[in-house]
A and B are shown apart, each in its own frame.
Chain A
């Protein structure tokens, strides 16, 4: 039972354009959603999060949108930079637990 799904294994965009990474979930009990970025041979790095009571959170070039009725969230990166090339993981978290339920990731490539 995959509670968090990232249906696009890969995404390629041009430098300066917008990158949109999508994530769907099935568990209505998630209180918190997080995005992590991972480079090869490194551990995931926290990027941005959003509480389930909000619909948008912004941090610099990164914005996460949450649509609870559709059980869908997306990460927007504007403008995209070559250094953003990495695998991006979406994760859900329930209150009272440290457990993160991850999607399988989307590999983003930003071309110069």
Chain B
């Protein structure tokens, strides 16, 4: 069974631009969550989707948004990029609530 796949693996963007990251969950998993990892803040929850509905959202500005498609694939978008958005963005999928989450390898975003 293929794991969680995130694309692209690495990305360099300029301040003010916008970016879209993609996540393909494990087959059969309907829940997808996104996390941001930075050296100072650790792993922080961005949002969670289940069956195309956002069920939970972390404490991030509205520049961060996401969506989930009918095949459970998910995208997250960051608009008007800031230097502080440079981070490793991780996607996790699970079968459902309180089922263990499996993480992808992440997308390393660098904003210059």
Which residues of A are in contact with B by a Cβ distance under 8 Å? 31-32, 34, 36, 41-46, 49, 89, 91, 93, 95-105
Among B11-19, B63-71, B78-86, B103-111, the stretch in contact with A: B103-111
Count B interface residues, CB 8 Å.
Answer: 27
Q: What are 26 A-to-B residue pairs whose CB atoms are below 8 Å?
A: A31-B98, A41-B105, A44-B90, A46-B100, A46-B101, A49-B100, A91-B43, A95-B98, A96-B97, A97-B56, A98-B33, A98-B94, A98-B96, A99-B45, A99-B48, A99-B56, A100-B35, A100-B43, A102-B35, A102-B42, A102-B43, A102-B44, A103-B42, A104-B42, A105-B42, A105-B43
Our count of residue pairs bridging A and B at CB distance below 8 angstroms stands at 64
Residues of B within 8 A of A (CB): 4, 31, 33, 35, 41-45, 48, 50, 55-56, 58, 90, 92, 94, 96-98, 100-106
Q: In whole angstroms, how far apart are the Cα atoms of A12 and B21 in the complex?
A: 36
| Chain A residue, CB-CB nearest to B108 | A41
